[in-house]
Amino acid sequence: MPRPSRFSFVNLQSGLGLLIILLLAVLTSPRSASGGRIFLEVGNLTDILRQVSEIGIMAVGMTLVILTAGIDLSVGSTLALATSIAGLCLTTWAPAAGTPAKLLFAIACALAGSAMVGALNGFVIASLRIQPFIVTLASMIGVRGLARRLTNNTNIDFGFGSDAGSVFARLGSDKSTVVAIFVIVFAVFSVLLSRTVFGRRVRAIGDNQTAALYAGLPIRRTKIYVYTWCGLLAGLAGVIYAAQNHQGNPNAGLSYELEAIAAVVIGGTSLAGGKGSMAGTLIGTLIMGILTNMLRLNNVDSNTEMMLKAVIIIAAVWIQQFDAAGFGKRERR
Amino acid sequence: MRKYLALAGLASFLAGCSKPSAPAQKTYFVAFSQCNNAEPYRSAQNELLSRICSKKPDIKLTITDAQQDNSKQIAQIETLILQRPDLLIVAPNERAPLTAVMGKALAAGIPTICLERDIAQPNYTTYIACDNRAIGKMAGQFIVGRLTAKYGKPKGKIVEIRGLLGVEGEINRYAGAHEVFQQYPGIKVVHEAVADWLQAKGRERMLEILRAQPEIDAVYGHNDPMAVGAYLAAQELHREKAMFFVGVDGLGGPAGGIKKVMDGVLAATFYYPLAVDMAMQIGDRILRDPSYKPLKKYMLPTEIITPENARQMYDRLTF
């Protein structure tokens, strides 16, 4: 049986990684005019939370998918689709109604569109039995095309006035709103994964699909749910993206799927499925966010940043290999 | 009757024959090899070119999208050569890789117009150039001018948000501006960040820069979206009034940079010509007049867009 998620050793190791990155960030932080470390300013710390929220929300959905031993490469394109739908709904497709209705309409359409992409992924994977990598690779390409087609390849910018688009951007880019959405999503899905039947099924399928099948678990339905949630969460990240960047952008979210996967893997979730936790994913997301922030506060060249990130990803996954019995001993599988 | 003739012409073309012989039934086939539809500037180019061609009933336009990939663009041009267009317009993705295939098009007798980016050898009928270095210089001069007005002498702290590194536009918009900045010891570029032409990245980078830099006088974005992204970051920290923002591209339409100047977000933007209107003006003469010889190179001027002329430019460049 898979290990229970909370307080498991995998999280301890990820937690250690987080601690090391935090320490490094504090020690290397440049100082502000008043002498304090810029990294530790409340504004900067909350900036990090806000910046990781889009990838973080996607990583929550990705955790579910990876736990079933699947993968979803289409989340970046789905995010772009959601920003495009939200943009269109707030401008050209806007219903003749008051601003609150317009906002609700836009958000609902964006989420529904993304959930449909996810449901379609799940259906093809579970019912037609095509490998998740192939299916979501195809939808990554197709959904990007759809987003570009809907918007005719142009960005849809929101203004700075009092029209629905401007109001949407103003409300949705508020730091506390964004961070609150991230925290709520994370909390809800932590509970869903660790305390519900659905969560146990997700793990069981990834741990041993044949056993799950013989145990009579609804594999097909569970997989469709998982991919639908993943699509919907990518759409939610898209709504936040659109608001924060004042635009619907069909080219948004390029390679976001890889960042989300990196966050999940750094958090100790195994790509083989069955093993991992939401807490780990949160830690993985924060490690990447703090690392980025640390390098940029120090004005590190962007190419060097990419190289350092590569090293961190490998190091973080490497320390996961050591068994709970102690460091120096590799886990046998 | 003309309709049938046009259809016959089209049919003979589809059958892979050489160009229809009777001049009266002539339909001109214009092919535009675009390097990347995904950039707003380039989708504006496509839009403008489509509009121009739709007004000429005897011109049939095809646009291919190389998705920022040299090999794709080479393959697409090779296919186009086989289709024997009457005019080929190329917006090359990069200089060196596209040089040979454009030579092939010329050798096949297809008039070829090269847009904005020069290629390694003059394998084109005519080259319509936009001068990024001049734009960089003008942007630099504008910034220095504003700072001089503010402090009484040329001094101040500038943040630069750079485009995708290694691309011609980025290199020259950077070099042009720095040519100006270097002349004034009081002018300092305190932070440079790379945001790959993207508004979202511009915003993220700027948030970090704002934390690290307590004093910023001006932000120079290598395109409008990045400058707008930087503005959004500054606005969030209530610092947008302490500095001014300058971008490049000056596209029309509600999502373009000119609108941002009108909204008071950007202090100025610099028009990077779409160039397809000029290409079609010359191309049209090449198509209809076999004796016409265009110049080897046309240099398109840039224009500064400030609140004073923004409205007028918006009307001119929105379509």
User: Quick one: pLDDT band at residue A33, thresholds 50, 70, 90?
Assistant: confident
Q: Which domain holds residue A183?
A: 9-20+38-319
State which of B124, B140, B171 marks the end of a domain: B124
Does B92 reside within a domain?
A: yes
User: What tens digit of pLDDT does each residue of A266-307 get?
Assistant: 998 989 999 999 999 999 999 999 999 998 888 888 888 889
pLDDT at residue B17 in the model: 45
- Other Cβ atoms closer than 10 A to B287: 20
Does any domain span residue B199? yes
* Interchain CB distance below 8 Å, B194 and A302: yes
Q: Decide if B176 is inside a domain.
A: yes
Contact between chains at B263 and A159 (C-beta distance less than 8 A): yes
User: What integer pLDDT is reported at residue B3 of this predicted model?
Assistant: 53
A186 Cβ contact partners less than 8 Å away, ≥ 6 residues apart: A56, A60, A278, A282
In a domain, A70, yes or no: yes
Mutate to test the interface with A, among B41, B207, B258 (most CBs of A within 10 A): B207
The pairing of strands B268-271 and B303-305 is antiparallel
CA distance B148 to chain A (A): 25
Q: Is residue B170 domain-resident?
A: yes
What secondary structure letter does DSSP report for A81?
Answer: H
Q: How confident is the model at residue A16 (pLDDT cuts 50, 70, 90)?
A: confident
Residue B182 is part of a domain; what is its CATH number? 3.40.50.2300
Q: Are residues B117 and B146 both part of a single domain? A: no
**Do B80 and B24 share a domain, yes or no?**
yes
Residue B284, both tokens: 């049209």
Whether B120 and B137 map to the same domain: the answer is no
Do B171 and B102 share a structural domain?
no
Quote the mean pLDDT of chain A. Answer: 90
Instruction: Give the span between the Cα atoms of B31 and B39, in whole angstroms.
Output: 19
Give me the mean pLDDT over the A239-243 stretch: 95
A329: left (phi over 0), alpha (psi -120 to 50) or beta: beta
Which residues of chain B have a CB within 8 Å of the CB of A33? 214
Q: Cα separation of A305 and A297, whole Å?
A: 12
Q: Counting beta carbons within 10 angstroms of the beta carbon of residue A172, is it exposed (0 to 12), middle (13 to 18) or buried (19 or more)?
A: buried
Judgement on whether residues B136 and B265 belong to the same structural domain of the protein? yes
Does residue A186 form part of some domain?
yes
Q: Tell me if B290 is assigned to some domain.
A: no
Contact A296 B37 (CB under 8 A): no
Contact (Cβ atoms closer than 8 angstroms) between residue A280 and residue A212: no
* DSSP assignment string, A215-228: TT--HHHHHHHHHH
As a three-state string, the secondary structure of A279-309 is HHHHHHHHHHHHHHHHHHHCCCCHHHHHHHH
Facing residue for B255 by CB, picked from A32, A157, A252: A157
Q: pLDDT at position A3, please?
A: 47
- Whether B62 and B30 have beta carbons less than 8 Å apart is answered as yes
Q: Which residue of A has its CA nearest to B38?
A: A153
Look up the ipTM and state it.
0.74
Residues B74 and B154 in one domain: no
Answer yes or no: do A297 and B211 touch at CB < 8 A: yes
How many structural domains compose chain A?
1
Could you tell me which of B79, B2, B1 has the C-alpha nearest to residue B33? Answer: B79
Instruction: Using pLDDT thresholds of 50, 70 and 90, give the confidence band for residue A323.
Output: low
| Residue among A156, A241, A303 whose CB faces B200 most closely | A241
Min distance B193 CA to chain A CA atoms (Å): 8
Range of the domain at B154: 132-273+308-315
Q: Which of A239, A244, A255, A304 to mutate to test the interface with B (most CBs of B within 10 A)?
A: A244
Mean pLDDT, residues A133-154 taken together: 94
Cα of B292 to nearest chain A Cα, Å: 36
Query: In chain A, pLDDT over 90 holds for what percent of residues?
Result: 68
Closest Cβ opposite residue B208 in set A159, A246, A296: A296
Domain boundary among B124, B142, B174: B124
For residue A251, which residues of chain B lie inside 8 Å, CB to CB?
38
pLDDT at B226: 96
Q: Would you give the distance in Å from CA A136 to the centre of its chain?
A: 16
Residue A332's pLDDT is 46
Same domain for B163 and B239? yes
Burial-class residue A27 by CB neighbours within 10 Å (0-12, 13-18, 19+).
exposed
pLDDT at A14: 81
CB contact under 8 Å between A173 and B236, yes or no, is: yes
DSSP letters for A116-139: HHHHHHHHHHHHS---HHHHHHHH
Q: Is the pLDDT of residue A1 over 70?
A: no
Question: Between vectors from CA A181 to CA A175 and to CA A184, what angle results, nearest 5°?
Answer: 135
Looking at the domain assignment, is residue A26 inside a domain? no
Q: How many domains does chain B have?
A: 2
Write out pLDDT tens, residues A157-208.
888 888 899 999 999 988 999 999 999 999 999 999 999 999 999 999 999 9
Please list, in sequence order, all residues whose beta carbon lies within 8 angstroms of the beta carbon of residue B309, skipping any fewer than 6 positions away: none
Q: Is B152 found in the same domain as B101?
A: no
What residues in A contact B253, CB-CB < 8 Å? 154
Q: Which residues, 6 or more positions from B128, have their beta carbon under 8 angstroms from its beta carbon? A: B113, B114, B115, B116, B275, B278, B279, B282, B297, B298, B300
Q: Per the CB < 8 Å rule, is B253 touching A296? A: no
Chain B partners within 8 Å of A252 (Cβ): 200
d(CA A60, CA A234): 9
The H-assigned helical ranges of A128-218 are 132-151, 164-172, 175-195, 197-207, 209-214
Three-state secondary structure string covering chain B: CHHHHHHHHHHHHHCCCCCCCCHHHCCEEEEEEECCCCCHHHHHHHHHHHHHHHCCCCEEEEEEECCCCHHHHHHHHHHHHHHCCCEEEECCCCHHHHHHHHHHHHHCCCCEEEEECCCCCCCCCEEEEECHHHHHHHHHHHHHHHHHHHHCCCCEEEEEEECCCCCHHHHHHHHHHHHHHCCCCCEEEEEEEECCCCHHHHHHHHHHHHHHCCCCCEEEECCHHHHHHHHHHHHHCCCHHHCEEEEEECCCCCCCHHHHHHCCCCCEEEECCCCHHHHHHHHHHHHHCCCCCCCCEEEECCEEECCCCHHHHHHHHCC
Please, are residues B137 and B112 in contact by the beta-carbon 8 Å criterion? no
A9-28 and A278-297 helices, crossing angle to 10° = 10
* Residues of chain B found within 8 Å of residue A246, distances taken between Cβ atoms: 199, 228, 232
Domain stop point among B124, B152, B175: B124
Could you tell me if B284 and B292 are in contact, meaning their C-beta atoms sit under 8 angstroms apart?
no
Residue A325 lies in a domain: no
Q: Does B43 reside within a domain?
A: yes
Q: State the pLDDT at residue A153.
A: 83
Residues of chain B with pLDDT under 70: 1-25
- In 10 A of CB A234, how many CB atoms? 34
Domain assignment of residue B298, yes or no: no
Give the per-residue pLDDT at A8: 54
Question: Tell me, what's the pLDDT at A257?
Answer: 96
Using a CB-CB distance cutoff of 8 angstroms, which residues of chain A are in contact with residue B165?
Answer: 302-303
Tell whether A56 is covered by a domain.
yes
